[in-house]
Amino acid sequence: MPIEAISAIIGLVLSLLIFSYLIGDNPLFRSAIYLFIGVASGYAAVVIWHQVLLPRLFQPLLSADPNQLLPVVVPLGLSVSLLAKLSPRISWMGSFAMAMLVGVSAATALSGAVIGTLIPQSRAAMDAFASPTVGRLLQGIVMLAGTALTLAYFQFSATRAADGSIKRSVIFEFLAWIGRVFIAITFGVLFAGVYMAALSAMIERLSSMINFVKSFLGL
């Protein structure tokens, strides 16, 4: 039996196991999920070994070149110190590495949000005004208003009222409400995109299963 037929049969069986969830949670569906998690974990482990650990750690450590050895010592020491978190007595040894990890992660997320989302979104809202057409002008107004109002939703500054309660101004509350509408529309569009992608994947899987059964039966 050719390898293509074996792969098709395995794909058909796994697809049927996944579709068995339509009748409720059952051992067949859970076995398919466990198999998927195991394969994904094994694939991730192989990728980490071949693309991270082997070329970036073990090969420099086994190399006699000090230019390759020295840059590996500090990250290796910090990584080993993280293992101290497993013991409460010596957990303080991994605090510095944990602080660096959290700080770098926060800086990466913040810079990614600013450089990858905020600035391009602002530029796209302003570039729409470069075209003299009415359609592009209206599109630019909507994009700029949506960007500004969405940012206003995340403006949490407030003032103290006469009765001592802390409230935002009525203007900011109104702008934040409109920003919430833009956020809801965005989430709706994203959900529709995810739903369409999942529906397309399901249609493709069903079509592949039907074609395989037809070819197997000689139809």
Write the pLDDT tens digit of every residue in 110-165: 888 888 877 887 777 777 777 667 777 787 788 888 888 888 888 776 666 666 66
Instruction: For residue 207, give the nearest of 7, 72, 12, 14 by alpha carbon.
Output: 12
Is the residue at 38 inside a domain? yes
Look at residue 120 and tell me if it is in a domain.
no
Q: Which of 28, 62, 96 is the last residue of a domain?
A: 62
Domain final residue, candidates 62, 83, 105: 62
Domain-embedded: residue 49: yes
In a domain? residue 101:
no
In a domain? residue 88: no
The reply to whether 147 falls in a domain is yes
Mean pLDDT of 31-53: 92
Give Dmax over CA atoms of the chain in angstroms. 83
Stated as kind and residue range, the H or E segment containing 167 is: strand 166-167
Work out the pLDDT band at 17, boundaries 50, 70, 90: confident
pLDDT digits (tens, 9 = 90+) for 63-89: 777 777 777 888 888 888 888 888 888
Range of the domain at 18: 1-62
Classify residue 153: in a domain, yes or no: yes
Q: Is residue 8 part of a domain?
A: yes
161-207 confidence digits (pLDDT tens): 666 666 767 787 888 888 899 899 989 999 999 999 988 988 888 88
Domain count, the chain: 2
Q: How far is it, in rounded angstroms, from Cα 13 to Cα 11?
A: 6
pTM: 0.60
